[in-house]
Amino acid sequence: MKKTVFSGMQPTGVGQLGNYLGAIKNWVSLQDEYNCLYSVVDLHAITIRQEPDVLRQNSLDLLAMFISCGLDPDKNIIYMQSHYHGHTELAWLLSCYAYFGELSRQAQYKDKSAKNAENVNVGLFSYPVLQAADILLFGTNFVPVGEDQKQHLELSRDIAIRFNNAYGETFAVPEPLIPKTAARVKSLSHPDKKMSKSDDAGSYISLLDPAETVMKKFKRAVTDSETEIRYDPENKPGISNLLEIYAVTNDMTIQAAASEFAGKNYGALKIATAEAVIGKITDPIQSKYFDLAKNVDYLYEIMRKNAARARDLGDKTLQNVKNKIGLIL
Ligand code: TRP
Please tell me if the CB atom of residue 209 comes closer than 6 angstroms to any atom of ligand 1.
no
Domain ranges of the chain: 4-182+295-325, 201-291
Residue 182 has pLDDT above 90, yes or no: no
Q: Are 108 and 120 in contact (CB under 8 A)?
A: no
How far, in Å, from the CA of 277 to the mean position of ligand 1? 25
What span, in angstroms and rounded, lies between the C-alpha atoms of 194 and 285? 22
Nearest Cα neighbor of 248 from 34, 19, 42 is: 19
How far, in Å, from the CA of 157 to the mean position of ligand 1? 14
pTM of the model: 0.94
Please tell me if the CB atom of residue 79 comes closer than 6 angstroms to any atom of ligand 1.
no
pLDDT of the residue at 13:
82
Q: Are 18 and 32 in contact (CB under 8 A)?
A: no
CATH topology (fold) of 201-291? Tyrosyl-Transfer RNA Synthetase (1.10.240)
User: 139's torsion region: left (phi>0), alpha (psi -120 to 50) or beta?
Assistant: left
What span, in angstroms and rounded, lies between the C-alpha atoms of 52 and 196? 21
How far, in Å, from the CA of 27 to the mean position of ligand 1? 13
Minimum-distance ligand 1 atom for the alpha carbon of 131: 9
What is the 8-class DSSP label of residue 133? H
How far, in Å, from the CA of 44 to the mean position of ligand 1? 8
pLDDT digits (tens, 9 = 90+) for 183-192: 899 999 999 9
Residue 159 has pLDDT above 90, yes or no: yes
Residue 180 has pLDDT above 80, yes or no: no
pLDDT band at 198 (very low <50, low <70, confident <90, very high): confident
What span, in angstroms and rounded, lies between the C-alpha atoms of 299 and 293? 8
Please tell me if the CB atom of residue 156 comes closer than 6 angstroms to any atom of ligand 1.
no
pLDDT of the residue at 290:
96
pLDDT band at 215 (very low <50, low <70, confident <90, very high): very high
Please tell me if the CB atom of residue 149 comes closer than 6 angstroms to any atom of ligand 1.
yes
Residue 29 has pLDDT above 80, yes or no: yes
Please tell me if the CB atom of residue 6 comes closer than 6 angstroms to any atom of ligand 1.
yes
Domain 4-182+295-325 falls under CATH 3.40.50.620: yes
Residues annotated as catalytic are 112, 194, 197
Residue 285 has pLDDT above 90, yes or no: yes
pLDDT digits (tens, 9 = 90+) for 68-104: 999 999 999 999 999 999 999 999 999 999 999 999 9
Minimum-distance ligand 1 atom for the alpha carbon of 41: 7
Answer yes or no: same fold for 4-182+295-325 and 201-291.
no
Longest Cα separation, the chain: 71
